[in-house]
Amino acid sequence: MKSVNCLAAKDSNLMHQVMRMYDAELADAQLLDQGISVDDTEAIAIVESGTSMENYASALSRLNSLKRRLITNETLRFRYAQTMKMTTEKGCALPVLGEQLQCDFHPRCYLPHHAVLNPKKPEKLRIVLDCAVKHKGQSLNDTLYQGPDTIANLVGIILRFRKVRVAVTADIEEMFMQVKVPKHDRGALTFLWWPQGDPPKNPEEYQLKDHPFGATSSLFCANFALNRAAREFGSGYGRAVLKAIEENVYVDDCLALSTTCDEALRFTKEITELLGGGGFKLRRWSSNSPELAESLSEDSTSTNLVQLSQFDSSCQRALACSGTQQEMFLSSSSSY
């Protein structure tokens, strides 16, 4: 059997190549005759206008609603004003004054705010910006990336926490407030408040400098900053400290374990110094070892952890679990 191969040249192929050459050479001339599509028009408008949300009116309406509530509740009004005053005095929020008011911030978003009270901490009032409030069907959270899940596995933390004899717990003071928002993005965290906390006065604009609770991106940004601090300031510290930050810190709770009290005490000093270099302060230290508890500095010893057990006054709380300092059993409590 014979096989025959046949090669043939077609004019259509040659014509196609010539047409492609002319299209490439004369592309600019052809664009003059082509209109812009609807999608392209919308894309250009978005780029030129930025991601601002013209929601000043709705934010002002929410502030007026808050005003009526504060006027009828003098205690809440005082606590709200004190909390806002502390926020500005710490530099966590800054007033937008003078020429800044004329700046066209991109992005810009006015966020309403409200008070949140924790039943377990009735003495503390937290002011939360509402990043989920929608304006024309879109909220600030809708425009933010959540980022990857870089938080340590909770089950793994609890299981490792029960492995050895000496256990230590602490939490990071105001963790989110230690992570700053770039200046060019702070327009997205604009809110309204009255001068000196006096509702009869005209409200002024403020911008939050820190990542707020409730923002889609805040958890990832805070945890990224924590791990970045561990890498940048971790030279000269033991592997156990770096591993603890990576594997045994859940959001702002740190749970660590050691075989001896001396080792645990050395660990607490090293991790405090390391994270302190990155602006993260560990506080409320607690341990199941009375010897270690006495060695911890008085200002960092756990003094205000919530008691969840009516049978044991030494019950401590971490990661929504509770346990006695001596036995370190873990249990949970629910109001439902």
Residues 268-304: tens digit of each pLDDT: 999 999 999 999 999 988 888 888 888 875 445 444 4
pLDDT tops 50 at residue 306:
no
Architecture label for domain 56-148+180-208: Roll (3.10)
Residues of the chain with CATH 3.10.10: 56-148+180-208
- Higher per-residue pLDDT: 240 or 67: 67
Is residue 315 within 8 A of residue 303, CB to CB? The reply is no
Find the range with the poorest average confidence among 15-24, 90-99, 107-116. 15-24
Confidence of residue 313 (pLDDT cuts 50, 70, 90): very low
Peptide bond into 199 cis (omega under 30): no
Question: How many CB atoms within 10 Å of residue 224?
Answer: 15
What gap in Å lies between CA 68 and CA 190, rounded to an integer? Answer: 21
Is residue 289 within 8 A of residue 166, CB to CB? The reply is yes
Backbone angles phi, psi at 114, to 5 degrees: -150, 165
- Higher per-residue pLDDT: 190 or 25: 190
pLDDT at res. 303: 43
- Report the share of the chain in percent with pLDDT over 70: 71
What gap in Å lies between CA 80 and CA 77, rounded to an integer? Answer: 5
pTM for this predicted structure: 0.73
